[in-house]
Amino acid sequence: MTMARIIALAVGYFLGIFQTGYFYGKKHGIDIRTQGSGNAGTTNTLRVLGWKAGAVTFAGDLCKAILAVVIIHFLYRGRYPGAVGVLELYAGFGAVLGHNFPFYLKFQGGKGIACTSGMILAVCPMAAPLCLVLFIGAVAFTRYVSLGSILVVIAFLIQVVLFGQYGFLSVDADYLMEFYIVSACFTAMGLWRHRANIGRLLSGTENKFGMKK
């Protein structure tokens, strides 16, 4: 399993490094990392280049995580049927790492929420509805995209633990704790990447959706 974990992370990383927002911006003569918040993710791309760019970026970043999970699923479902869900998580986390820290862009990428969303849809779709409701609700009522993103990664982890304890995850008991730990890595990464946003939320200076930087 050790090599399978490494391969899953590697597959995810090398799919994750495709920076949809960066390449979309370059096609239009803009380095998205020098505009707005300097982030290569969906929110900044949407703010700088508009709704179409934001939608394309979100779809691309979502799909690369899904693709990583699907590849690992078909690669290992026969060899490790009781642990393939954990390997899928590793693939998804690799995609987030690649998105957040692409080596060819001096490790300056996005914050990984779209990738995490793709992983949730592919690995634990039962968790997706609540995550979506919390995100939309937070953005609609507060206009803080960062708050919605933070709620998504927290809600995902809580649901994973509940689903696992009640037997709703397709993972053998021997791998259940590892499933929790890898899931917690998504939450930890999401919170760490939003640490500056959390500081601004607490101080009341966070940028609201629809406002100019």
Residue 212 has pLDDT above 80, yes or no: no
Confidence of residue 211 (pLDDT cuts 50, 70, 90): low
Written as one letter, the residue type at 213 is K
On whether residue 19 sits in a domain, the answer given is yes
Q: Which of helix, strand or coil describes residue 40?
A: coil
Asked whether residue 71 carries a pLDDT value surpassing 50, the answer given is yes
The pair of three-digit structure tokens given for residue 150, joined into one six-digit string? 């933070």
Band (37; pLDDT cuts 50, 70, 90): confident
Range of the domain at 172: 2-203
| 107 domain-assigned | yes
Task: Give the residue among 191, 185, 197 at the shortest CA–CA distance from 12.
Answer: 185
At residue 142, does pLDDT exceed 90?
yes
Residue 134 has pLDDT above 80, yes or no: yes
Average pLDDT score, the chain: 93
* Nearest residue to 186 via CA among 47, 88, 50: 88
For residue 213, being part of any structural domain is answered with no
The model scores a pTM over 0.85: yes
CA distance 165 to 41: 34
The 10s digit of each residue's pLDDT in 191-206 is 999 999 999 999 999 9
Which pLDDT score, from 0 to 100, does residue 75 have? 97
Question: Contact 35/44 with Cβ under 8 angstroms?
Answer: yes
Nearest-angstrom CA–CA distance, 99 and 23: 13
- Which tokens hold the place of 115? 């990738």
In a domain, 210, yes or no: no
Does residue 162 belong to any structural domain of this protein?
yes
Q: What digits encode the pLDDT tens for the residues 87-131?
A: 999 999 999 999 999 999 889 889 999 999 999 999 999 999 999
Q: So what's the pLDDT on residue 210? A: 66
Number of folded domains in the chain? 1
Looking at the domain assignment, is residue 127 inside a domain?
A: yes
The tokens for 153 are 């990664």
Res. 213 pLDDT band, cuts 50 70 90: very low
What are the pLDDT digits (tens) for 40-54? 888 889 888 888 989
CA distance 16 to 36: 22
The mean pLDDT of 83-89, rounded to a whole number, is 97
Per-residue confidence (pLDDT) for residue 33, from 0 to 100 = 85
Determine the Cα angle at 38 with ends 33 and 44, to 5°: 95
